[in-house]
A and B are shown apart, each in its own frame.
Chain A
Amino acid sequence: MAFWPFKKRSQRQAAALPTGDRGLLVFSHTSEVIRAEKALKEAGWRIRVMGPPPEIRSGCDLIIEFPIIEKLQVLRVLEQVRLLPLNVVPVSGPLLKPVDLFQVKDFGRYLMVRAANMKLTVDKDTRVIVSVSGGGCPDVPYLARELVGRPLDAAPRPRELGHTLCGYALELAFQEMERQCS
């Protein structure tokens, strides 16, 4: 495995790779990004879902950052699940730097994590979820109803409740909130 230094590392701890070592997988639809993320993580690849850089004007609102040196291996995994990226772009300059999906805002007693189009706000003292907002997907009111008023540890996971990009983004926010509050 010495030839494959990016494999089998902890995905949650995936730190940013230096510019020049990174590539971006651009897909037409967010559903493809979600499937690709799942397939690549299951295969043990160190990847990150991020926002597209300003230079990339095609594709959807999410991209996957991966180690460019492993391009052929990564594309092979995607082929196996019948996914074809719209584009594969090496990160060759600052305008091609992907945008972090997360925005964290401290409101004093409350902490908000925004992931893509969804915001999750938690009471820092009690860890109770006080607000779920954003989206524009039909399942957002349902997600909010199920999560608001419950502590993080006792709340159902958005990935188990939602079926849209909003549910997916809320799951990312949930994971980041758990990391922030740990």
Chain B
Amino acid sequence: MTEQVDARGLSCPQPVLLTMEKLRSLNQGELVVLVDTDTSRENVSRAAASLGWQIKALEPEGDDYRIVLQKG
């Protein structure tokens, strides 16, 4: 089952910090992150890449974004 972080409604840097904590605990696999601003989308993507995770998909969902991160 794919893990998910719902960071909608949170201001930076909280979406990044929640995502990083989850990525560290998972170590590898797939994680879906939901954010609701362009800034959070960019910051989460950047932080994930810095930990060696790839952005498998980045899809707008209404006013939000669904980021699918993958590693391994």
Q: Decide: A131 near B42, CB < 8 A? Known: A148-B47, A149-B50.
A: no
The docked-state distance in angstroms from the alpha carbon of A132 to that of B46 is: 10
Q: Which of A107, A110, A134, A141 contacts B42 (CB 8 A)?
A: A141
Residues of A within 8 A of B (CB-CB), count: 17
Q: Decide: A144 near B13, CB < 8 A? Known: A130-B20, A130-B47, A131-B47.
A: no
Name A's interface SS.
strand
CB-based nearest B residue for A150: B50
Contacts of B26 in A (CB 8 A): none
| 24 A–B contacts, CB within 8 A, in A order | A107-B14, A110-B13, A110-B17, A119-B13, A121-B13, A121-B17, A128-B50, A130-B13, A130-B16, A130-B20, A130-B47, A130-B50, A131-B12, A131-B16, A131-B17, A131-B43, A131-B47, A133-B16, A133-B39, A144-B42, A145-B46, A148-B43, A148-B47, A148-B50
